[in-house]
Amino acid sequence: MLTIKNLKASVEGKQILNGLNLEIKPGEIHAIMGPNGAGKSTLGNVLTGREGYEITEGEVSFMGQDLLDMAPEDRARMGLFLSFQYPVEIPGVPMVNFLKASVNEHRKFKGQEPLTAGEFLKLMREKKEMLHLDSQLTNRSVNEGFSGGEKKKNEIFQMAMLEPKLAILDETDSGLDIDALRVVAEGVNALKSPERSAIVITHYQRLLDYIVPDFVHVLYNGKIVMSAGKELALELEEKGYDWIKKEFA
């Protein structure tokens, strides 16, 4: 699904990713934890092709293709999805129009006909029910005036509509109450299949009670310094990151 080899990237001349390696197979869920400023969001941004990041070394292959060579929109069409740590508001663009355009763009890429209005509404209704979402949000402009929790739930709704091959969730659980946390977990768990994978970036082991990862990695100083099973999340919650910082300073 995804192979990252010795990835180095910088922002405004400052090197943030320092030789990062990561391998994700289809069907796997990987959690990435790590102290603030370690480079977790940078990794998500670099993978999805956000501008402003300079790749100085390394390779990334996504479903057999050279990811770094592809335009951001092609990465998305191939099934890469990033749920933003800070979702942006798009005033004047109703959610329903935004989603319909996205879904049909993905279908076009796969050689499928666009959904009719009726089919699209049916799909939206199914996904809303699955996630127990308030139906009013989709009539409003994308994220405009949404609460923090509503924005995060809306990211998960978009993910559910697009059914990505590889979903990256960047601290989608931060600041959420327990009900919203369940929406996030249900969204990820509903997508679980032998052909799909997810990277869950989180500070809290709490989310991992609901989304059980196959691997937990610690990202520190721009690289993965430790990888283990789900028990590592509990250990980090208990011990914090000081011991990691000492060992890998």
Q: By the criterion CB under 5 A, which residues form the site for Mg ion?
A: 36, 40-41, 85
Among 2, 9, 39, 99, binds ligand ADP (CB under 6 A): 39
Of the pair 158, 172, the CB lying nearest Mg ion is at 172
Looking only at residues 45 through 74 of this chain, which bind ligand ADP when binding is defined by CB under 6 A?
Answer: 52
Strand-strand pairing, 80-83 and 166-170: parallel
52 binds, among Mg ion, ligand ADP, none (CB under 5 to 8 A by kind): ligand ADP
Looking only at residues 211 through 240 of this chain, which bind ligand ADP when binding is defined by CB under 6 A?
Answer: none
List beta partners, residue 82: 168
Of the pair 124, 171, the CB lying nearest ligand ADP is at 171
The H-or-E segment that residue 80 falls in is: strand 80-83
Edge-to-edge strands, sheet with 197-201:
80-83, 166-170, 197-201, 29-33, 215-220, 223-228
d(CA 189, CA 156): 11
Which SS3 state, helix, strand or coil, does residue 11 take?
strand
Tokens of 98: 């935004």
42 binds, among Mg ion, ligand ADP, none (CB under 5 to 8 A by kind): ligand ADP
Among 40, 152, 165, 217, binds ligand ADP (CB under 6 A): 40
22 binds, among ligand ADP, Mg ion, none (CB under 5 to 8 A by kind): none
d(CA 125, CA 187): 14
Q: What's the closest the beta carbon of residue 41 comes to ligand ADP, in angstroms? A: 3
Of the pair 40, 127, the CB lying nearest ligand ADP is at 40
**One-letter identity of residue 147:** S
Q: What's the closest the beta carbon of residue 217 comes to Mg ion, in angstroms? A: 15
d(CA 35, CA 90): 30
Residues near ligand ADP, by CB under 6 A? 11-12, 14, 16, 34, 36-42, 52
